[in-house]
Structure 1
Amino acid sequence: MSSKQQSDTEQSEKNLAPFDYTLSVIGGKWKMKIMYQLANNEILRYGDLKRKIPKITHKMLSSQLSELELSGVLRRDEYPQIPPKVEYSLTPRGKTLMPILEEMCKWGVSNQ
Structure 2
Amino acid sequence: MDRPQEFRKCIECFLRQDVCHVVRDHEDNKRAYAGPRFLMRVAELDMHPLDAAADAGLDRKRAAQEEHGLGYCNITKCRTEVCPEGIRITDNALIPLKERAVDRTYAPLVRLGSRIRRRSS
Name the TM-score, length of structure 2 as normaliser.
0.27
**Which protein is bigger by CA-based radius of gyration?**
1
Name the TM-score, length of structure 1 as normaliser.
0.28
Higher strand share: 1
